[in-house]
Structure 1
Amino acid sequence: MAYDLITMGRIGVDLYPLQTGVPLDRVTSFGKFLGGSATNVAVAAARLGLGTAVITRTGDDPFGTYLHEALRGFGVDDRWVTPVPGLPTPVTFCEVFPPDDFPLYFYRLPKAPDLEIHPGELDLGAIRAARVFWVTGTGLSEEPSRTATLGALAHRARSGITVFDLDWRPMFWDDPGSARPFYAEALRHATVAVGNVDEVEIATGTREPHAAARALLDAGVELAVVKQGPKGVLAVHRDGERAEVPPLPVTVLNGLGAGDAFGGSLCHGLLAGWDLERVVRHANAAGAIVASRLECSSAMPTPDEVASALAAGAVR
């Protein structure tokens, strides 16, 4: 079986406050959700009808059991989600101060299981056969995940659509200044690069969106996607096609997870063969819908929800 999408990277439990505008020390109740960027992208794509799977690892604990159940509930294949004895499943807390302040607190000590993905454990045949393969910058932050991620990319050899989500989380790196060579190696094997202005700066040395897009293309990808927050999204293809699309108006409740919804929709649109502007408009709408909701994974929109938002010209 060839999957539409296989993602590889972070997983964990999101514990999000059920009160907005309240600092974490005063929150009294939380909701528990499946989390982790690569995992959320797989969920988002599954919601849009793609056959998806995720390669990651959890703790051998009740939270790990919960994540397997949640993945199956969302229709994401969990066959490559394995336990790591002795390491706890990561937990992430956030604070919710709409519209633009959502501090995150990652509990990934002594080490996150999703960084214990070993090269010899990978199903390289399935990775190469997938229509889309998605990896993240976090996967490069520590061994053995770094070697596994780069090895998977090299084996795939740019077959199909290979997406590198720049996913810059400096707190996951022992030496953040060492990241750029590993990013450059990943870009050499990818066909698509996706990141916000902070992330493209880590990869290319520039924050200016058009210059960063050109630098990403020069680094080897065929499509560069630069997310600019309230300024919208710039997408530039090596063949000259480009799209610069404003965001869909939305009242933001929690901006976390919007980028993952964007990613799942991006995969959907690229596989559907849409023109670049349609791909980005659809992805923007998916992200806006999630931004209007508290949670991440369970907030991922259905095709009808995205179509309704696009028809209305806003998320209502």
Structure 2
Amino acid sequence: MAPPSPPPPEPFDLITMGRSSIDLYANDIGAPFERIESFAAYVGGSPTNIAVGARRLGLRTALLSAVGDDKVGDFILHFLAREGVYTGFIPRKPGRRSSAVVLGIQPPDTFPLVYYREGAADTALTIDDVLAARVETAGALEISGTGLAKEPGRSATFFAAERARTAGKPVFLDLDFRADQWHDPRAFGVNVRAILPLVSVAIGTEEEVNAAMLTRPEDLEIRHQQISAPIIKGDLGANIAQLLGAPSGPELLVVKRGAQGASLYRRGGERQDVPGFPVEVFNVLGAGDAFASGFIYGQLKGWDAYKSARLGNACGAIVVTRHGCANFMGYFDEVMAFVEARGGF
């Protein structure tokens, strides 16, 4: 059994909300998926990764997720407790299963994914689970696009964002587009656009920004089962302008650009590019979550957006040189040394 979670500290710096899973990463690097002989077991899920990454940087973090009454749930809770991420807001959901992901690694640019999320426990989060977590008392809330894919988790996510914003707390939205989690990928954009008025900062890749405005199914293509890296056609500039042009919504859209770093788009139309850190890529999965953990850390410490994104780029650069996601997030001293060795902020 997973160890019991201690009483929560008050307040948390950050509560992240959404999916959690066991991640099985191929040990046979470069092998075709059908020839993989063994996997390493880690913990994953975008909000889970961000909670761990931010905790390793020094924030007091809690995860609002759910697991099944199963051994995979024990595995996830044990890892989080060991990392110091508060698990008291992670209920067991009877009749549901803890989620799983299986990943192949074929560097430099092919990473096929298989999700096992039918009846996933974290999609069953409820409004009562949000009330129990008291998200409005935390310094900030982080939510994800995948958390909007199914009920009752969708309503719980909207409710959490509403509670946080009413309390004057920042809400960070990781767009986190996974096309196979939606009955229609266009529904992703409908829900993202609906929740944007409750969001302070939105974070996503160029593909995810285009997905938020997707109207034609033929503009979406997934090659080699790379669920996390689809090809999505669209006018990126126009889509950014539309997402930021609503009467209410995020003041900042952060677009992750991989090796090129990130770009900051402000509501008034200003763009600021933030250079990345060149490294040899081993596995790109988890880099965006590492970026988010660094960026959110900087924002909650009062840093400007440029410096926060620069730290996020460093966190992402460290993770792409490693095998997995949450288990390989950088620690504060390690990340700061990495930045300093490469010219600083």
Shorter chain as normaliser: what TM range? over 0.9
Cα drift, residue 294 of structure 1: 0.3
Q: For 1:215 and 1:124, locate their aligned partners in 2 and report how far apart those are by CA, in whole Å.
A: 35
What do the CA deviations read for 1:277-316 (whole angstroms, capped 9, x no partner)? 21111100100100000011111001122122212329xx
What do the CA deviations read for 1:179-203 (whole angstroms, capped 9, x no partner)? 3221112111000000101111122
SS in 2 for 1:84: coil
Q: Does 1:134 align with 2:163?
A: no
The aligned amino acid for 1:231 is Q
Q: Does 1:304 align with 2:333?
A: yes
Q: Does 1:49 align with 2:58?
A: yes
**Structure 2 partner of 1:16:** 25
**Structure 2 partner of 1:191:** 200
**Structure 2 partner of 1:2:** 11
**Structure 2 partner of 1:293:** 322
**Structure 1 partner of 2:299:** 270
Q: For 1:211 and 1:71, locate their aligned partners in 2 and report how far apart those are by CA, in whole Å.
A: 40
Contact 1:114/1:145 (CA < 8 Å) preserved in 2?
yes
Cα drift, residue 5 of structure 1: 0.5
Contact 1:138/1:169 (CA < 8 Å) preserved in 2?
yes
SS in 1 for 2:250: coil
Q: For 1:72 and 1:251, locate their aligned partners in 2 and report how far apart those are by CA, in whole Å.
A: 32
Q: Does 1:101 align with 2:106?
A: no
- The aligned length equals 313
SS in 1 for 2:15: strand
SS in 2 for 1:115: helix
Q: For 1:293 and 1:212, locate their aligned partners in 2 and report how far apart those are by CA, in whole Å.
A: 33
Q: For 1:180 and 1:131, locate their aligned partners in 2 and report how far apart those are by CA, in whole Å.
A: 27
Cα drift, residue 222 of structure 1: 1.1
Structure 1: unaligned runs, 5 residues or longer:
none
> Normalized against structure 1, the TM-score is what?
0.93
**Structure 2 partner of 1:153:** 161
**Structure 2 partner of 1:162:** 171
Cα drift, residue 239 of structure 1: 6.3
**Structure 2 partner of 1:258:** 287
Alignment of 1:233-244 (within 5 A): 233-238=262-267, 242-244=271-273
Contact 1:87/1:113 (CA < 8 Å) preserved in 2?
yes
Contact 2:140/2:164 (CA < 8 Å) preserved in 1?
no
Contact 1:137/1:164 (CA < 8 Å) preserved in 2?
yes
Cα drift, residue 84 of structure 1: 1.4
What do the CA deviations read for 1:180-238 (whole angstroms, capped 9, x no partner)? 22111211100000010111112245855544443332231011101122332101234
**Structure 1 partner of 2:342:** 313
**Structure 2 partner of 1:114:** 122
**Structure 2 partner of 1:218:** 245
**Structure 2 partner of 1:40:** 49
SS in 2 for 1:120: helix
Contact 2:186/2:211 (CA < 8 Å) preserved in 1?
no
Cα drift, residue 242 of structure 1: 4.5
What do the CA deviations read for 1:19-43 (whole angstroms, capped 9, x no partner)? 2101222222211111111100000
> Normalized against structure 2, the TM-score is what?
0.86
Contact 1:213/1:225 (CA < 8 Å) preserved in 2?
no
SS in 2 for 1:194: strand
SS in 2 for 1:98: coil
Higher mean alpha-carbon deviation, 122-131 vs 9-18, is at: 122-131
What do the CA deviations read for 1:49-68 (whole angstroms, capped 9, x no partner)? 00000111111111101111
Contact 1:38/1:135 (CA < 8 Å) preserved in 2?
yes
Q: 1:92 aligns with which of 101, 109, 115?
A: 101
Alignment of 1:55-66 (within 5 A): 55-66=64-75
Q: For 2:83 and 2:314, locate their aligned partners in 1 and report how far apart those are by CA, in whole Å.
A: 20
The aligned amino acid for 2:243 is L
Contact 1:224/1:235 (CA < 8 Å) preserved in 2?
yes
Contact 1:41/1:260 (CA < 8 Å) preserved in 2?
yes
Distance 1:203 1:58, change over 3 A: same
Taking only aligned residues, the RMSD between alpha carbons, in angstroms, comes to: 1.8
Q: For 1:212 and 1:74, locate their aligned partners in 2 and report how far apart those are by CA, in whole Å.
A: 38
